[in-house]
């Protein structure tokens, strides 16, 4: 038996031997790393005790090793990959824990620029990136599977790049939407969404690192939907970035995400949750980005086009960027470089240099 080994004190993967006759387990191995992450990939030779593992840290690129759980010898390296992201190698990274106003425990991964002085505490602009998730009980919503020793591996959609531009970044901020018993999560979607955001900002602000008047929020797909709602129903943010999102829930009338009720069963929920229906309230700068060929059933490009037209009709500061031939995710080099440029220009104008 191989387990991920998540505990209150960290992640410690393990290998157990299970006796089918006696039903008893014997712990054969458990990782002891506290400053690195060890992943148990495969059992090479059970009799010899040889296991292929992957070891990494927040600034050490993942490499493969062979360990012997019987001899307990030092890991033997199999690969020697170097870190290809030297510019963010020494950024500060930690998983912070905090609580929502109702006591729900939340987490997020906080990045600070390399060399940032945590004693002087220069006030930085903050970028928060998230994706909401629905739960039917608070215990599940509070579970933490983030490992601070995960290698910092940016992709095209990552906000981590902006630590090199002088921002603090709170990535993968927890945004649980909980509905227990007969109550459905989306019955109080907006209230919980704003509470999640406020708790995250309060937590980073309490550390003394940020200027809470210069905070941006962003997300992709359902995270874009989250972003539009946060800008509409709170005054917590200076600007937002919404990519490949859906903004009118009546266009997904037979459910979305974990919502199982259709529009005709819960019209108030669909209308209340739709940023399009509340376009007249939205006055915060919002950058909308969408792939021209998005074939995801819930996020056709029309979603961004109609929402953009509604916002412009009410004079909101907004910009719509359509990426040619891109689908729900983006892949062309030209698209990704343009995406990064658009996001950077937006953040510099409306967040870092907010007037």
Tokens of 104: 């729900």
Active site residues: 221, 294, 328
Tokens of 121: 């505490």
> What's the rounded Cα separation, in Å, for the pair 90 and 111?
10
How would you class 9 by CB atoms within 10 Å of its CB: exposed for 0-12, middle for 13-18, buried for 19 or more?
exposed
Contacts of 181 (CB under 8 A, 6+ apart): none
> What's the rounded Cα separation, in Å, for the pair 232 and 276?
10
3-state secondary structure of 79: coil
Q: Could you tell me how far CA 77 lies from the centroid of its own chain?
A: 32
To the nearest 10 degrees (0 to 180), the angle between helices 222-233 and 189-206 is 80
Angle at 122 between CA 121 and CA 128, to 5 degrees: 95
């Amino acid at each position: 038996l191989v387990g991920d080994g998540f505990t209150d004190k960290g992640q410690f993967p393990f290998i157990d031997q299970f006796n089918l006759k006696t039903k008893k387990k014997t712990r054969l191995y458990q990782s002891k790393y506290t400053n690195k992450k060890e992943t148990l990939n495969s059992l090479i030779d059970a009799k010899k005790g040889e296991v292929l593992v992957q070891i990494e840290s927040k600034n050490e690129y993942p490499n493969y090793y062979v360990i012997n759980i019987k001899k307990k010898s030092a890991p033997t390296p199999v690969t020697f990959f170097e870190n290809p992201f030297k510019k963010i190698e020494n950024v500060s990274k930690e998983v912070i824990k905090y609580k929502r106003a109702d006591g729900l425990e939340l987490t997020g991964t906080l990045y600070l620029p390399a060399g940032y002085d945590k004693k002087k505490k220069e006030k930085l602009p903050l970028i928060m990136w998230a994706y909401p998730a629905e739960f039917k009980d608070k215990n599940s919503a509070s579970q933490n599977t983030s490992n601070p020793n995960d290698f910092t591996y940016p992709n095209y959609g990552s906000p981590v790049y902006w630590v090199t531009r002088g921002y603090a970044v709170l990535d993968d901020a927890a945004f649980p939407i909980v509905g227990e018993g007969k109550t459905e999560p989306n019955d109080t979607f907006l209230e919980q969404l704003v509470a999640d955001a406020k708790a995250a900002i309060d937590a980073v602000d309490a550390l003394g690192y940020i200027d809470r008047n210069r905070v941006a929020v962003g997300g992709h797909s359902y995270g874009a939907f989250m972003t539009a709602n946060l800008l509409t129903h709170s005054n917590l943010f200076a600007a937002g970035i919404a990519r490949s999102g859906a903004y009118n829930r009546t266009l997904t009338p037979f459910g979305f995400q974990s919502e199982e009720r259709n529009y005709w069963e819960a019209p108030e929920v669909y209308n209340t949750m739709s940023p399009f229906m509340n376009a007249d309230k939205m006055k915060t700068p919002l950058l909308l980005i969408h792939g021209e060929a998005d074939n995801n059933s819930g996020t056709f490009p029309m979603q961004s086009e109609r929402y953009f037209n509604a916002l412009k009709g009410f004079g909101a500061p907004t910009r719509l960027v359509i990426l040619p031939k891109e689908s729900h995710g983006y892949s062309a080099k030209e698209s990704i470089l343009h995406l990064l440029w658009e996001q950077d220009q937006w953040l510099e104008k409306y967040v870092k240099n907010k007037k």
